[in-house]
């Protein structure tokens, strides 16, 4: 595919739309299998982390074959292409999490700081279980110990955009994922 330019940076094609769709279907099938025994119990609650995870959350949710609910929370730690090191909560949850099976939906886990700060807040609500589904994981960048239960793709420590991920607001609408050009 043709490279894209967002603001002052060029990005090269990295994961195609078809590759992403196939992997999302596989993740949904695995989650559905893992929670197939929940029939008759309270439905699984998915919590999508905005803004980046909205596309992944939508596509994943459509592929599930289990009883499920979805909610969103806005957490942010990026400015430009770098993490700010500060996690900001802009929109909170209004569901009771006590005794619920919860799956967090993330677009990308790099340093892990966002989830590291957010998970104790969720655990305080005493859910029955708490798992993490992330489309992308940068193992080389991870600085916090996290259990990632469902991982779409392990990727190198390069900045990526598309399929919900942005560079200063642009690129979220791209159907595939692009990585920062090697020339940048």
Task: Read off the tokens for 70.
Answer: 């979805």
Q: Do 36 and 75 contact (CB within 8 A), yes or no?
A: no
What is the distance between the alpha carbons of residues 47 and 180, in angstroms, rounded to a whole number?
Answer: 28
With b for 16 or more beta-carbon neighbours within 10 A and e for fewer, the 103-141 pattern comes to bbbbbbbbbbbbbbebbeebeeeebeebbbbbbbbbeeb
Catalytic positions: 110
């Amino acid at each position: 595919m043709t490279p894209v330019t967002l603001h002052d940076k060029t990005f090269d094609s990295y994961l195609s739309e078809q590759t992403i769709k196939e992997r999302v279907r596989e993740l949904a099938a695995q989650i559905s299998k893992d929670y197939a025994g929940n029939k008759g119990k309270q439905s699984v609650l998915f919590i999508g982390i905005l803004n980046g995870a909205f596309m992944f959350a939508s596509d994943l949710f459509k592929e599930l074959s289990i009883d499920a609910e979805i909610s969103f929370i806005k957490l942010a730690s990026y400015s430009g292409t770098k993490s700010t090191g500060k996690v900001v909560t802009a929109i909170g949850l209004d569901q009771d999490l006590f005794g619920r099976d919860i799956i967090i939906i993330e677009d990308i886990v790099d340093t892990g700081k966002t989830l590291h700060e957010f998970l104790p807040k969720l655990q305080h609500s005493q859910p029955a279980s708490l798992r993490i589904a992330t489309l992308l994981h940068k193992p080389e960048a991870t600085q916090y110990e996290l259990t990632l239960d469902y991982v779409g793709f392990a990727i190198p420590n390069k900045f990526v955009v598309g399929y919900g991920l942005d560079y200063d607001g642009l690129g979220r609408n791209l159907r595939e994922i692009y990585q920062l050009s090697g020339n940048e």
